[in-house]
């Protein structure tokens, strides 16, 4: 059975995962795994009586409490990383484009877009100049093709955007966004389709409006 295509006039488009947030989210997983393993080790004396030592700093019951806390914290970090990864995406809606992460979202009206074009991630940033943990976020994506969406104005103050989102979501050469997604060509087609549909709807609404004098002329022409 063929997959139903979204109607740009009513239905939102596909959710295109923002790949840079996949690596941002995964930084929490090693700590989560470590805490989980430590929690299991701390529970061993409670589960295996032979491992209980009288001269321990904590007795086996206290260690069990610590172990449970570590297990919960480790599982929490793991779940948090999955949530952050899955909640980071860009999606077309009938009248605007939504950029969403686990903590923040912003809607960009299609009228703000000046140009949308494919770019190479490696050409947008000099990987050698990026230091620290940010290098781990973007270097694995250096060979990817992304989508650059130039805008005339940002929908909210620029400082607020840079505070709420990764800098790898913004074009370093133009005022606009960089979408590093698994299928940039599909996203480009969707943005073009939804933009054109939004413009057509706006034109249709303007044509439907008639001032009182024009409406009277129209009615006279229909009646006589």
Q: Hey, where are the domains in the chain? A: 20-86, 110-201
- Residue bearing the bigger pLDDT, 221 or 81: 81
Say what percent of the chain tops pLDDT 70. Answer: 83
Q: How far is CA 22 from CA 25, 28, 173, in A?
A: 5, 11, 24
User: Side-chain half-sphere of 91: how many Cα atoms within 13 Å?
Assistant: 15
Q: How confident is the model at residue 100 (pLDDT cuts 50, 70, 90)?
A: very high
Lowest mean pLDDT: which of 51-65, 120-134, 159-173? 51-65
Mean pLDDT of the chain: 84
Instruction: Identify whether the C-beta of residue 199 lies closer than 8 Å to the C-beta of residue 29.
Output: no
Average pLDDT for 177-195: 95
Q: How far is CA 179 from CA 19, 99, 125, in A?
A: 8, 9, 14
Instruction: Identify whether the C-beta of residue 127 lies closer than 8 Å to the C-beta of residue 174.
Output: no
Average pLDDT for 67-84: 87
Residue 170 is classified by DSSP as B
Residue 105 is classified by DSSP as E
Give the H or E element holding residue 188. Answer: helix 184-208
């Amino acid at each position: 059975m063929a997959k139903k295509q979204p109607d740009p006039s009513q239905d939102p488009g596909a959710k295109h995962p923002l790949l840079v947030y996949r690596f941002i989210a995964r930084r929490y997983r090693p700590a989560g795994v470590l805490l989980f393993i430590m929690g299991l080790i701390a529970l061993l004396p409670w589960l295996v009586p032979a491992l209980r030592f009288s001269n321990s700093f904590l007795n086996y019951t206290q260690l069990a409490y610590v172990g449970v806390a570590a297990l919960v914290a480790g599982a929490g970090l793991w779940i948090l990383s999955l949530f952050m990864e899955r909640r980071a995406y860009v999606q077309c809606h009938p009248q605007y484009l939504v950029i969403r992460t686990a903590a923040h979202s912003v809607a960009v009206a299609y009228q703000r877009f000046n140009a949308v074009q494919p770019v190479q991630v490696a050409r947008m940033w000099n990987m050698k100049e990026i230091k620290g943990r940010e290098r781990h976020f973007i270097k694995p994506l250096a060979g990817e093709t992304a989508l650059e969406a130039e805008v005339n104005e940002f929908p909210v103050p620029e400082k607020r955007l840079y505070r709420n989102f990764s800098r790898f979501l913004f074009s370093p050469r133009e005022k606009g966004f960089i979408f590093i997604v698994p299928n940039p060509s599909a996203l480009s087609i969707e943005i073009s389709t939804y933009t054109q549909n939004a413009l057509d709807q706006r034109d249709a609404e303007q044509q439907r409006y008639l001032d009182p004098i024009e409406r009277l002329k129209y009615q006279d022409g229909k009646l006589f």
